[in-house]
Amino acid sequence: MHFADYKTILSPQGGMNIYRGCTHGCIYCDSRSKCYQMDHDFEDVEVKRDAPRILEEQLQRRRRPCMIATGSMSDPYNHHEEELKYTR
């Protein structure tokens, strides 16, 4: 696990991925695709530093309510979540 700095958490389409990568090792996982341009091993989970604060700021600036989809690039409740509590 390693941390990375991001300016945004929420995509324009309403997608939210606090983590990039996953430790489950599913060989069929689409998130392993090179098109997502991960510069680290997929099993080395990248955590977006200060994700709850950044998300809160983004939501306050939004003009309309939106549906948020989470976990398309990783398991949002992976074992790191037990310590970090970002998804909760």
pLDDT digits (tens, 9 = 90+) for 9-29: 999 889 998 998 888 888 888
SS3 content of the chain, % helix, strand, coil (to 5): 25, 15, 60
pLDDT digits (tens, 9 = 90+) for 36-64: 788 888 888 999 999 999 999 999 998 88
DSSP state of 32: G
Number of domains in the chain: 1
Task: Name the residue range of residue 22's domain.
Answer: 2-84
Contact 16, 68 (CB under 8 A): yes
Q: Hey, is 59 helix, strand or coil?
A: helix
Q: How far apart are CA 80 and CA 57, in angstroms?
A: 23
Best CA proximity match to 70, nearest among 15, 7, 10: 15
